[in-house]
Amino acid sequence: MPPLLEAVGITKAFPGMLALDNVRLDLQPGEIHAVMGENGAGKSTLMKILSGVSMADTGEIRFEGNRVAPTTPREALMLGIAIVHQELSLVPTLTVAENIFPGRLPTNAFGMVRFGQLFRQAGEVLEKLNVAVDPHVLVETLSIANQQLVEITKALSLNCKVLILDEPTSALTDHEADMLLAFLRRLAADGVGILYISHKLKEIFQVADRVTVLRDGKYVGTEVISETTPDQLIRMMVGRELGDMYPPKNQQAGAPLFEVRNLRLPGEEEFNSFQLFEGEVLGFAGLIGSGRSELARAIFGAEPKAEGEIWLFGKPVRINSPKDSIALGIGYLPEDRKAAGLFLEMSIKLNVEAAVIEAVSSGPFVAGNKERDLARHYVNQLNVSTPSIEQEVRRLSGGNQQKTLVGKWLAIQPKILIVDEPTRGIDVGAKKEIHFLLRALAQSGVGVIMISSELPEVLGMSDRILVMHEGAIVAEYNAADATEEKIIRSASSHKGE
Ligand SMILES: Nc1ncnc2c1ncn2[C@@H]1O[C@H](COP(=O)(O)OP(=O)(O)OP(=O)(O)O)[C@@H](O)[C@H]1O
Ligand SMILES: [Mg+2]
Tell me which of 211, 238, 265 is where a domain ends: 238
Does residue 227 lie within any of the structural domains? yes
Distance 398 CA to ligand 2 centre (A): 5
- Greater model confidence, 105 or 376: 376
Residue 162 resides in a domain: yes
17 lines ligand 1 (CB under 6 A): yes
Same domain? 345 vs 215: no
Assign residue 160 the CATH number of its domain: 3.40.50.300
Range of the domain at 288: 256-492
Tell me if 168 CB under 6 Å of ligand 1.
Answer: no
Q: What is the DSSP string of 107-152?
A: B-TTS-B-HHHHHHHHHHHHHHTT----TTSBGGGS-HHHHHHHHH
| Distance from the alpha carbon of residue 131 to the mean position of ligand 1, in angstroms | 31
Residues 281 and 170 both lie in one domain:
no
279 lines ligand 1 (CB under 6 A): no
Residues 388 and 440 in one domain: yes
pLDDT at 496 over 50: no
The predicted model gives 214-226 an average pLDDT of: 96
| Ligand 2: centre distance to CA 89 (Å) | 14
Whether 341 and 423 map to the same domain: the answer is: yes
234 shares a domain with 262: no
> How many whole angstroms from 426 Cα to the centroid of ligand 2?
10
Q: How far is 251 from 249, CA to CA, in rounded Å?
A: 6
Closest ligand 1 atom to Cα of 402: 26
| Interstrand relation of 416-420 and 330-333 (parallel, antiparallel or unpaired) | parallel
> Within 13 Å, how many C-alpha atoms sit on residue 260's CB side?
22
CA of 230 to the centre of ligand 1 (A): 24
Residue 478, classified by CB atoms within 10 Å of its CB into exposed (0-12), middle (13-18) or buried (19+), is exposed
Q: Is the CB of 397 under 6 A from ligand 1?
A: yes
| Same domain, residue pair 228 and 286 | no
Q: Give the strands of the sheet with 472-478, arranged side by side.
A: 330-333, 416-420, 447-451, 281-286, 464-469, 472-478
> Residue 437 in contact with residue 459, Cβ under 8 Å?
no
Pairing of strands 17-27, 32-36: unpaired
Q: Do 311 and 403 lie in a common domain?
A: yes
Distances (CA, A) of 228 to 41, 101, 204, 209, 368: 20, 40, 11, 11, 50
Which of the listed residues 14, 21, 51 should we mutate to test ligand 1's pocket, taking the one with most ligand atoms within 8 A of CB?
A: 14
The per-residue pLDDT for range 361-418, each reduced to its tens digit, is 544 444 456 666 777 888 888 888 888 889 999 888 888 888 888 888 888 889 999 9
10, 23, 44: residue to mutate for ligand 1 pocket, most atoms within 8 A of CB: 44
| pLDDT for the residue numbered 338 | 67
Q: Are residues 218 and 349 in the same domain?
A: no
Overall number of domains in the chain: 2
Q: Is the CB of 86 under 6 A from ligand 1?
A: yes
Residue among 316, 348, 344, 319 nearest 332 (CA):
319
Atom 7 of ligand 1, residue of closest alpha carbon: 395
At 414, give phi and psi (nearest 5°). -75, 160
- 321, pLDDT greater than 60: yes
Q: What is the pLDDT of residue 113?
A: 73
Which one, of 190, 221, 235, 227, lies nearest residue 208 by Cα?
227
Q: Residue 228 C-alpha to ligand 2 middle, in angstroms?
A: 23
Plot region of 38 (φ>0 → left; ψ -120 to 50 → alpha; else → beta): beta
Tell me which of 238, 273, 302 is where a domain ends.
238
Closest CA to 299 of 290, 287, 309: 309
Distance between CA atoms of 27 and 135, rounded to whole angstroms? 33
Ligand 1 neighbour 204 (Cβ under 6 A): no
Residue 249 inside a domain? The answer is no
> 151 alpha carbon to ligand 2 midpoint, in Å?
16
Residue 427 Cα: closest atom of ligand 1:
25
Cβ(399) – ligand 1 distance below 6 Å: yes
Which mutation among 17, 220, 433 tests ligand 1's pocket best, with the greatest number of atoms within 8 A of CB?
Answer: 17
The dihedral through the CA atoms of 137, 138, 144, 146 has a sign that is positive
Pairing, β 464-469 against β 281-286: parallel
Let me know whether 198 and 69 are in one domain: yes
Across 114-118, 187-191, 262-266, 319-323, least confident range: 114-118
Residue 3: CB within 6 Å of ligand 1? Answer: no
42 close to ligand 1 (CB < 6 Angstrom): yes
Structural contact between residues 194 and 42, judged by C-beta atoms closer than 8 angstroms: no
| 497 — pLDDT class (breaks 50, 70, 90) | very low
The arithmetic mean of pLDDT across residues 48-54, rounded, is: 95
CA of 166 relative to ligand 2 center, distance in Å: 7
Q: In this predicted structure, what is the pLDDT of residue 317?
A: 95
Mean pLDDT along residues 432-446: 91
- 314: amino acid identity, one letter: G
Q: Name which of 263, 259, 388 is nearest 313 in CA terms.
A: 259
**Which atom in ligand 1 lies closest to the alpha carbon of residue 45?**
18
**Range with the poorest average pLDDT among 106-120, 382-396, 470-484:** 106-120
83 or 368, greater pLDDT:
83
Domain assignment present for residue 145? The answer is yes
Lowest mean pLDDT among 45-59, 277-291, 314-328, 334-348: 334-348
Decide whether any atom of ligand 1 lies within 6 Å of the 43 Cβ.
Answer: yes
Instruction: Please state, rounded to an integer, the average pLDDT across all residues of the chain.
Output: 88
Domain membership of residue 275 (yes or no) is yes
Q: How confident is the model at residue 339 (pLDDT cuts 50, 70, 90)?
A: low
Q: Which atom of ligand 1 is nearest to the CA of 15?
A: 4
The Cα–Cα gap between 462 and 478 comes to 8
Which ligand 1 atom is nearest residue 47's CA?
A: 18
Pocket test for ligand 1, best of 12, 39, 45 (most atoms within 8 A of CB): 45
Do 274 and 184 belong to one domain? no
Query: Between the ranges 42-46, 237-241, 320-324, where is the mean pLDDT highest?
Result: 42-46
Residue 243 CA to residue 74 CA, distance in Å, equals 44
CA distances from 198 to 83, 147, 160, 320, 398 (A): 14, 18, 21, 38, 12
Q: Which pLDDT band, with edges at 50, 70 and 90, does 253 fall under?
A: confident
Asked if residue 232 and residue 261 are part of one domain, the reply reads: no
41 close to ligand 1 (CB < 6 Angstrom): yes
